[in-house]
Amino acid sequence: MSKSAPKTPPEALRKARRIVVKIGSSLVVDAATRAPAAAWLNALAEDLARLRAEGRQVIVVSSGAVALGRGRLGLTRNARLDEKQAAAAVGQSLLMQAWETAFRPAELVPAQVLLTRDDTERRRRWLNARATLEALLKLGAVPVVNENDTVATEEIRYGDNDRLAARTAQLVRADLLILLSDVDGLYTADPRRDPEAEHLPLIEALTPDILAAAGGANTQADVGTGGMATKLEAARIARSAGCATLIVSGLNAHPLQGLLDGDRATLITAPASPLQAYKSWIAGSLEPAGALAIDAGAATALAGGRSLLASGVQRIDGRFDRGDCVRVVGLDGGSLGVGLAAYAADEMDRIRGKHSGEIEGLVGYKGPGVAIHRDDLVLDPAQ
């Protein structure tokens, strides 16, 4: 972690460039009326708009589809799985309506994004999901992500939106994940049972002690599924992706402004930046499925931090799909590094040696326009 890594919750929020804010069902849905908590959502939209006005990008991960749908259909909490999935189908549109209503006065544009676990775990699919999220952010929209509960059955679910939010943060290489819930952070013991419980403002390593303190402690909310253990699991996923996590209470209005004003929260730091973590994952965890042999000019460009252009690729070896890891070698076969191929092997063969402007005509779609993007490329250490 760099020396200047934030050590307090307000500092973490002030320094973050790309922020994922996860909002639990108990905040989105009013428990008494089973309708959206409109005033709270309006206040949150104002907080999000302020962050955006400061040049930060925000992505919302919102629960509430099942709870709203259950309310509308008059179902009880112990509905069957297929009924819950049906409730999500009804509730998801009510949920987006609530976000649209809250965002409009703040001049924010919500964009519904429904993910399933495959979308973040299969590389080809997550490249697509990532490209869409990037496009939405570039267009100035605020992605509002939820799990696609209507098609995700138990075996293929993220299970809870804390984990979905962490995977989303990893996908978009966010530098901060904010988990808004009904507790103001992590304690040494359950504060509702133990008066000696101490609040932990800063966690720099997820030690067994810390994990034990979370030990299944759940929140009292009767909507939603996340407890403290799932929050720490989310923080662990985010941390390994170079993203810090803030656990914050959303019980008051304007919780993000409250954070900046010094409200109590727990900050879990990350040891690397999102891009460093992403690159060490590419270099350390993926087996190359093929190789691209490149000319000397391209090798010089890569050493200067540029992307690999199709024009510099001379030869293709192996069978790989878009998003697979490939080794980059010189014309003598010596390794230069590894990276994620932006095109499949057969497409790469068609575009090798060609200029970027010719790619679309050769493969039939626009695509990323480079053979390997520089963010997806890790060079071997200089000899």
Contact with ligand GLU (CB under 6 A) among 25, 170, 245, 249 = 25
What CA–CA distance (Å, rounded) separates 305 from 249?
Answer: 42
Instruction: For residue 85, give the 3-state DSSP assignment.
Output: helix
Which residues between 197 and 256 bind ligand GLU (CB under 6 A)? Answer: 224-226
Contact with ligand GLU (CB under 6 A) among 6, 44, 63, 170 = 63
Beta bridge mates, 247: 179, 266
**Which is closer to ligand GLU, CB of 164 or CB of 267?**
164
Q: What is the closest distance, in whole angstroms, from the C-beta atom of residue 230 to ligand GLU in the complex?
A: 8
What CA–CA distance (Å, rounded) separates 136 from 134?
Answer: 5
**Which is closer to ligand GLU, CB of 225 or CB of 273?**
225
Q: Does 161 bind ligand GLU (CB under 6 A)?
A: yes
Q: What is the DSSP string of 330-370?
A: -TT--EEEEEE-SS-HHHHHHHTT--GGGHHHHHSS---SS
Residue 91 is inside which H or E element, if any?
helix 81-103
**Which is closer to ligand GLU, CB of 41 or CB of 65?**
65
Q: From the centroid of its chain, how far is CA 28?
A: 20
Q: What is the closest distance, in whole angstroms, from the C-beta atom of residue 259 to ligand GLU in the complex?
A: 21
Q: Does 64 bind ligand GLU (CB under 6 A)?
A: yes
Q: Does 170 bind ligand GLU (CB under 6 A)?
A: no
Tokens of 125: 């699919």
Buried b (16+ CB within 10 A) or exposed e, 243-282: bbbbbbbbeebbbbbbbbeebebbbbbbebbbeebbbeeb
**Which is closer to ligand GLU, CB of 81 or CB of 382?**
81
**Which is closer to ligand GLU, CB of 14 or CB of 236?**
236
Q: Does 160 bind ligand GLU (CB under 6 A)?
A: yes
Q: Does 85 bind ligand GLU (CB under 6 A)?
A: no
Q: Rule CB under 6 A: which residues touch ligand GLU?
A: 24-25, 63-67, 146-147, 149, 160-161, 224-226
